[in-house]
Amino acid sequence: MILAIETSCDETAAALISDQGVLIQSTVASQIALHAPYGGVVPELASRNHSKDLPSLVEACLSEAGVSVADLSAVAATSGPGLSSSLLVGDTFAKALALARGLPFNSINHMEGHLVSPFLPFGSDPIPAHLALIVSGGHSLLIHVREIGDYEILGTTQDDAAGEAFDKVAKLMGLPYPGGPEIAAHAERGDPKAFDFPRSMVGRPDLMFSFSGLKTSARYQLEKLPQPLDETMRDDFCAAFQEAIVDILCAKVAQAAEMIDCGMVAVSGGVACNRRLRERLTQQEEQADRRLLLVDGKFSTDNAAMIAYAAYRRRLAGIAPSSLHQDINPSWSLAEPIS
Ligand code: KG4
Ligand code: ZN
């Protein structure tokens, strides 16, 4: 049984996975309500609450699964990327437990967690080579995954991440934090053609993203509209903005999949639970005759199940555990070797 801890941002999470790759327990305590009044995550508040909540959360995770620390065969934690003070809480907790029990420790890259999350139902079955799209609050990544630990970053964002664009535009509109689910909910009732937004970087030969132009366009258009927006206008604005992001993501996925000539696409990260994105990708990939794996909605935003599964896949692949001297790395890129 592997115990994994995730505290890279504002979710305190623990999970247990069996030595056969079966998820046993996944416990998440969200700090959204704590940070909402500030319109974003306050790092000092986040780390102090991880420190306060993590011991009882781990206890609850173990006891709900009927597992004791004596049943653990390894401990894992997210060691980056993320907020340094938040990462330190989970990383240090996991290392202390590993040291006390004499267990192997795995330092896991948060983005590798997202990357393997669509494959959680696979258990110990092989993960085929594929194209991964990770769209979260901090990252927009297209990755050629050859095997666990062998990742080629094909494209990333030049400025804001897709989730960040959702959050910033929601803030401009006066919608609560986090803005992604808020915009998505309003978009359900809106007309995506009612406003015009740019599709930056689409049609270029490279696989880079840029979402800051979209945010600027949203600001200029909002300034010209009567405030506060009436309900129909707000729903239409959200639908048109969401459609632009979805168009860009779909176009880049198709371009990347053709470029590396792959038959499978896996999509993860907080934005991957966006209903419109899931619908459009499903249509597109069906037409292109590629297999599409969308992360289960409950594992799309931050959780420790994905960290446990990444640790499990590393152990299964025969990759050596990490040293307890391994530092956290707040800007750890997936392209950097993981020890
Ligand atoms: O993966 P995640 O939990 O955290 C990071 O690692 O960043 O992703 C959080 C992001 C936020 O920007 C949030 O607004 C966005 O995912 N998000 C969504 C939806 N649900 C969450 N964006 C669009 N539509 C959604 N339904
Ligand atoms: Zn994340």
Residues 290 and 306 both lie in one domain: no
Could you tell me if 154 and 263 lie in one domain? yes
Report pLDDT for 243.
98
> Do 279 and 183 share a domain, yes or no?
yes
117 and 174, same structural domain? no
Q: What is the pLDDT of residue 248?
A: 97
For range 65-77, the mean pLDDT: 98
Residue 332 lies in a domain: no
Q: What per-residue confidence (pLDDT) applies to 336?
A: 85
pLDDT digits over 92-148, tens only? 999 999 999 999 999 999 999 999 999 999 999 999 999 999 999 999 999 999 999
Mean predicted confidence (pLDDT) in 264-273: 97
* pTM (predicted TM-score): 0.95
Atom 10 of ligand 1: nearest residue by CA position:
137
Whether the CB-CB separation of 164 and 211 falls below 8 Å is answered with: yes
| Chain centre to alpha carbon of residue 10 | 12
Ligand lying closest to the C-alpha of residue 241: 1
The set of protein residues with a Cβ atom below 6 angstroms from ligand 1 is 9, 136-138, 163, 166-167, 178-181, 184, 269-271, 273-274, 301-302
Residues 22 and 154 in one domain: no
Which residues span the domain enclosing 85?
2-123+299-316
Q: Examine the domain organization and report whether 187 and 276 are in the same domain.
A: yes
Task: Judge whether 324 lies within some domain.
Answer: no
| 333 occurs within a structural domain | no
- Which residues are near ligand 2, the ion (C-beta closer than 5 Å)? 136, 302
- Domain shared by 22 and 119, yes or no: yes
Residue 338 falls inside a structural domain: no
Single out the residue of 79, 130, 115 nearest to residue 325, CA to CA.
79
Q: In this predicted structure, what is the pLDDT of residue 339?
A: 47
Distance (Å, whole) CA 306 – CA 302: 8
DSSP for residue 239: H
Q: Residue 215 is part of a domain; what is its CATH number?
A: 3.30.420.40
Query: Is 113 part of a structural domain of the chain?
Result: yes
Residue 180, pLDDT > 50, answer yes
Q: Determine, yes or no, domain membership for 145.
A: yes
- 29-62 pLDDT, tens per residue? 999 889 988 888 899 999 999 999 999 999 999 9
Q: pLDDT for 225-244, tens place per residue? A: 998 899 999 999 999 999 99
Cα radius of gyration (the chain) = 20
Same domain, 138 and 282: yes
The total number of structural domains that make up the chain: 2
Identify whether 207 is part of a domain. Answer: yes
Secondary structure of 25-43 as H, E, C letters: EEEEEECHHHHHHHCCCCH
Whose C-alpha lies nearest to ligand 1, atom 3?
Answer: 301
Q: What is the DSSP string of 285-315?
A: HHHTT-EEEEPPGGGTSS-SHHHHHHHHHHH
Q: 239 and 290: one domain? A: yes
pLDDT at 338: 58
| Mean residue pLDDT across the chain | 96
